């Protein structure tokens, strides 16, 4: 098991751990495909058109059939048996970092794999990877184990982009997903979410009205808390950086800066009813996904 790059075989093995997600976090939004909220799309599929009867919802009138027959017809729906889960995974340069245990990219891939394996057997699984190049990599939803394994292959192949490489951002990915995701879908946004900015607002708003959103913020402990006073060397394999942590005031300012960013993320997500999970690279992914959710107020 590598700390810097996940493998397909490793993600497949996580299938054995996924059942431990079930029964946890009831109502917190991390039970894959459990149920969509009523305000985020009907979660229904069209069954037939039949003559309108008193008491029917006028919003369900089938205007095409009504115009063709000259009589009012209404649409009948049935509850969808299959739910679709969309995994939107960030692969930007910041994901190729980790000071403890694993890189952020590895933690993100493992979290996505656990959630996908934990989905109902008939759920559709789709993937959308952004930040690894100028275009998003899209995996159309597929049902059952085929969909899960396609997602795992995509996660294993994903490589964080170089710092100076052109790359698609979160807004591009969300705009694409907005056109793809059906009402009642569940959407997981997984990554460090650093570019979940104002440009994402209209897409988050549209998705939030139709889908159930959960954001998994992947971070490294060093991004949250500087180590004790001293000089520390970091390397990306090519260049070396020396960090002087300074005194207590600098560490406090560093932590306050992180808290400010989290609160900004919190405020952005709460407007769309999205759940937030905080996943640190020094913590087992299953443990973080099973923990009580940050309920965003």
For 158-212, write each residue's pLDDT tens digit.
988 777 778 899 999 999 999 999 988 999 999 999 889 899 999 999 999 989 9
Query: Residue 297 falls within a domain, yes or no?
Result: no
Cα 271 to Cα 91: distance, rounded to the nearest angstrom: 25
Helix, strand, coil % (nearest 5) of the chain?
A: 35, 25, 40
Overall domain count for the chain? 2
Determine contact, residues 140/118, Cβ cutoff 8 Å. Answer: no
Dihedral angle sign, alpha carbons of residues 264, 267, 272, 275: positive
Task: Look up the domain containing 177 and give its range.
Answer: 8-36+82-290
Query: Residue 129 falls within a domain, yes or no?
Result: yes
For 87-125, write each residue's pLDDT tens digit.
999 999 999 988 889 999 999 999 999 999 999 988 999
Q: What is the mean pLDDT of the chain?
A: 83
Query: Residue 295 falls within a domain, yes or no?
Result: no
Query: Residue 67 falls within a domain, yes or no?
Result: yes
Q: What is the CATH number of the domain that holds 266?
A: 3.40.50.410
12, 104, 4, 234: CA torsion to nearest 10: -170
Cα 185 to Cα 133: distance, rounded to the nearest angstrom: 26
Query: Tokens 């509850």, residue?
Result: 79
CA atoms within 13 A on the CB side of 192: 25
Does residue 109 share a domain with residue 73? no
Determine contact, residues 41/210, Cβ cutoff 8 Å. Answer: yes
Q: How far is CA 290 from CA 150, 218, 284, 294, in A?
A: 24, 15, 10, 12
Q: What is the pTM of this model?
A: 0.78
What region does 224 belong to: left with phi over 0, alpha with psi -120 to 50, or beta?
A: alpha
Query: Residue 163 falls within a domain, yes or no?
Result: yes
Does residue 53 share a domain with residue 151? no
Query: Exposed, middle or buried: residue 17 (CB in 10 Å: 0-12, 13-18, 19+)?
Result: middle
Would you state the pLDDT for residue 267? 87
Does residue 202 share a domain with residue 172? yes
Does residue 55 share a domain with residue 31? no
Does residue 68 share a domain with residue 141? no
What Rg do the C-alpha atoms of the chain give, in angstroms?
22
């Amino acid at each position: 098991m590598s700390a810097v790059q996940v493998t397909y075989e490793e993600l497949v093995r996580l299938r054995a751990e996924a059942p431990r997600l079930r029964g946890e976090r009831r109502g917190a939004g991390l039970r894959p495909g459990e149920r969509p909220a009523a305000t985020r799309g009907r979660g229904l599929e069209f069954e037939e058109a039949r003559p309108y009867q008193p008491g029917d919802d006028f919003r369900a009138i089938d205007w095409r059939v009504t115009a063709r027959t000259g009589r009012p017809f209404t649409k009948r729906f049935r509850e969808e048996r299959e739910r679709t889960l969309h995994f939107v995974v960030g692969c930007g340069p910041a994901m190729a970092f980790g000071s403890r245990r694993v890189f952020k990219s590895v933690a993100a891939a493992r979290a996505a794999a656990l959630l996908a394996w934990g989905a109902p057997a008939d759920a559709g699984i789709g993937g959308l990877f952004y930040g690894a190049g100028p275009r998003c990599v899209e995996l159309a939803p597929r049902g059952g184990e085929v969909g899960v394994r396609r997602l795992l292959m995509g996660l294993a192949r994903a490589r964080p982009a170089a710092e100076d490489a052109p790359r698609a951002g979160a807004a591009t990915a969300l705009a694409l997903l907005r056109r793809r995701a059906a009402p009642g879908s569940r959407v997981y946004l997984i990554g460090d979410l650093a570019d979940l900015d104002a440009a994402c607002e209209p897409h988050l708003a549209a998705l939030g009205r139709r889908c159930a959103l959960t954001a998994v913020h992947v971070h490294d402990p060093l991004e949250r808390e500087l180590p004790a006073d001293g000089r520390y060397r970091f390397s990306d394999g090519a260049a070396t950086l020396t960090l002087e942590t300074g005194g207590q005031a600098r560490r406090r300012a560093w932590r306050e800066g992180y808290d400010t960013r989290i609160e900004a993320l919190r405020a952005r997500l709460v407007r769309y009813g999205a759940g937030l999970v905080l996943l640190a690279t020094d913590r087992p992914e299953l443990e973080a996904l099973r923990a009580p959710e940050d309920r965003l107020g």
